[in-house]
Amino acid sequence: MPQATPQVSGKLFGLFCLASYLLSLSYGATFLLSLLIGSRGGNEHDAGSVISAAMLSTFVAVLVSGHLSDWLGAARSIALFGLLLVAASLGFAMTPGFGHLLLFFGLLLGLGWGVFYTLGPIIVASLVSPTQRAKYFALLSGSMMTGIGSGPLLGRAASALGLPVTSAFYLAAAASLVGVLLFWRLGARLKSTQAASAAKISWHATKQVLGSRAVFPIIMVGLGGCVFGGLSSFQTSYAAARSLDYSLFFLGFMSAAISSRMLIAGYVVKRDPLRASCLLSGLMLGSIVLFAFGVQSGFSYLLAAVMLGVGYGLTYSVINGLAANEAPAGTTSQALLLFSLAYFIGVFGFPLLAGKIIVEHGMPTLLLTVLAVAALNWMITVGRLLWRRITVESALTN
């Protein structure tokens, strides 16, 4: 992994971010699955099962991503597996009912999104120096978050135009196909930057990473993925129960996540990362409290979404940089692979439990469960700060 900053043109990185945005639309559209499956006679548990099928295939994606990077280069590996995102979006739209075939397309989604989400940060890490990683991770994740947030808005726009919700999946498939073509063309220019041999994961490297301080941001991204996946996947159900417009959530969340990353991420990442992650995860916890007990109107709904967007969005950028920089020497790529894997477990695995909770116990119980997860996430940051303080004071007294 190069330690000096290579010359990365703004145009090249801009195209990289545009391609990332377009591919992310296909994942964002899956937040409409609860609505789509509900219109076909299914329920939230059925939707959660489809989303969680992707968790299984992401394990495969993480394991093969290094070998794919060796073979094609990271960018062209993303392009190849991005075709599976196109196929998944088309499959969700065209499959009648809510049977087992949707689970197959959920698996395709996990493979495509897993390779993209895993190799994207590794490309960025190889392009810039460690001191710039948090900034460029924020730009990449901002592009992806824009695409993720735009996916459900396609559904809202289709509804406003009197079109079926399947229109959003067709549009997401078309956008992702353009993203695939962009990544393929970028492949030749980005391939030379890859430290491909370091992109493979091994048991030895895994033990090294999980035995270091990098394990804490890896756990946190998994917990954050549970919060994000649980709320976003069933936001259409949450909004319907309160006679609200679900597009307010995605507009508020996306706008806050993107603007905070673009406007203040550069300031935040220069601060103490432990203090920053504590403050931001606390803000995320506050947003869940508001979702659970304080949303009574469109304004409070939008406010809760904005708080979540700032808290989750910036926390992710901070802990992504922590995972890379706190990993033992020579294991940065492996730490990022494990970081992605933990995220996938949360964002794809938790909806299965969330859907079951909604069907059997109701939305309020799900919100209390998500609140407990967010509280645990915040307590990790508090614990790290207290441990550091104790260690410093002990060193000074000795």
CA 303, CA 265: separation in Å to the nearest integer? Answer: 20
pLDDT the model gives residue 230: 92
Predicted confidence at residue 191, as pLDDT, reads: 56
**pTM of the predicted protein model:** 0.85
| Per-block mean pLDDT, blocks of 10 residues, the chain (398 long) | 52 88 94 90 89 88 80 88 96 86 94 89 76 75 87 90 93 96 85 48 86 95 94 92 93 88 73 90 97 94 95 86 87 84 91 93 96 97 93 79
Question: How confident is the model at residue 228, as a pLDDT?
Answer: 92
Dist. CA 267–CA 261, nearest whole Å: 10
For residues 370 and 354, what is the distance between their CA atoms, to the nearest angstrom?
Answer: 9
Amino acid at 389: R
Output the CA–CA distances (angstroms, integers) from residue 326 to 66, 141, 216, 319, 336, in the order listed.
21, 20, 10, 10, 11
Nearest to 327 by CA among 221, 218, 222: 218
Amino acid at 73: G
Nearest residue to 322 (alpha-carbon basis) of 227, 219, 392: 219
Q: What is the DSSP string of 85-152?
A: HHHHHHHHHH--TTSHHHHHHHHHHHHHHHHHHHHHHHHHHHHS-GGGHHHHHHHHHHHHHHHHHHHH
